[in-house]
Amino acid sequence: MVYRDGLRMGTLSRHPETGWRANGWLDLGLRWLLGGLFVLASAHKIMDPAAFAKIIFGYDLFPAVAINLIAIILPYIELTAGLALITGVYPRAAAVVLSGLLMGFILAISINAWRGHVFDCGCFSSGEAALWQGTPGWMLGRNGLLLFMGWSITTFRGQRKIVVRSG
């Protein structure tokens, strides 16, 4: 690290590490919140992959041969990246993975909203009483907020709190 005027400088830029993007406690809270949400979201998908496959099929975006593979693999990616954020194992890499998933979710929801297609997002539970289920605008706003949280974790410039392995 480079020091200037007694302040630690970031490796990505020559600006002092100050402000909300260098607040370790804010970073920890965002990591726990985003990681916990993805762990929660993965639970019902892991327990009932057949129901999740039906939800993926309802999006009408993927070839039939890929649906079961997506339904089996995607929840474990969510679980692994979520646990990595919570435990502090390569939190930046985990945030990049989850941000990529969120961008894919935003794209899938946008395409179906544009088509006027009614669908179950399958985010936190399946069925009509799905938690956080709402209009496509609500789902896009929620995922946009989660994407902002992922970006904040990825671009964090301070000293991380409770980190097992940094990356």
Mean pLDDT split into 10-residue runs, the chain, 167 residues: 48 56 86 96 94 92 95 97 95 97 95 87 65 76 95 88 72
Q: Which domain holds residue 26?
A: 5-154
Residue 132, pLDDT score:
52
pLDDT, residue 20, reads 66
Question: Is residue 75 a contact partner of residue 99, using CB atoms and an 8 Å limit?
Answer: no
Assigned domain for 74 exists:
yes
* Single-letter code of the amino acid located at 68: N
φ, ψ for residue 18 (rounded to 5)? -135, 170
140: in domain: yes
- For residue 95, the model assigns a pLDDT of 97
Count: domains in the chain: 1
pLDDT, position 17: 60
Q: How far apart are CA 77 and CA 38, in angstroms?
A: 9
Residue 64 lies in a domain: yes
Would 163 be classed as within a structural domain? no
What's the confidence (pLDDT) of residue 167? 58
**Is residue 165 in some structural domain?**
no
Give the pair of three-digit tokens for residue 51. Answer: 């129901």
Q: Does residue 159 form part of some domain?
A: no
Q: What is the pLDDT, as a whole number, of residue 2?
A: 47
Position 66 in a domain: yes
Residue 118 structure tokens = 């009614």
Domain assignment of residue 59, yes or no: yes
